[in-house]
Amino acid sequence: MVRLRPEETGLKELVDRVLDKGVVVDTSVRVDLGSLDLLGAKAHIILASFKTAEKMGLDFPEGTNLNTPAWRDLTTKQSCPVCDMESRQEELKEEGCPWCGWNYRPDER
């Protein structure tokens, strides 16, 4: 069967995808009256998760403590190649995926 429409996506999936990939809006507005500049504004807006923002190399506000356990946990997670659920890198390497049971080092028999 051929589908002509893409599958419907819920709001949660849409927000997850936007935060995972990130969205950048770069805009510039200028109002002139003749040859006189009345108003000028530039904006560079980025909507992304903290993990995506860190990968993009964005600076966080002064005083942001990046050494908290929650931040370290966020930045050390990796997606399972089978089910795409996130787990700690060490957990995936040593025990396999806790979600689907995938193990990149199957037991040697």
pLDDT at 4: 54
User: Domain residues of the chain, as ranges?
Assistant: 8-57, 66-109
pLDDT tens digits, 12-26: 888 888 888 888 888
pLDDT under 70: residue ranges of the chain: 1-9, 74-75, 104-109
Burial of 97 (0-12, 13-18, 19+ CB in 10 A): buried
pLDDT tens digits, 27-36: 999 998 888 8
pLDDT at 108: 46
Contact by Cβ (8 Å): 46, 27: no
What are the helix (H) ranges across the chain? 11-21, 50-56, 69-75, 89-94
pLDDT at 41: 92
pLDDT at 6: 60
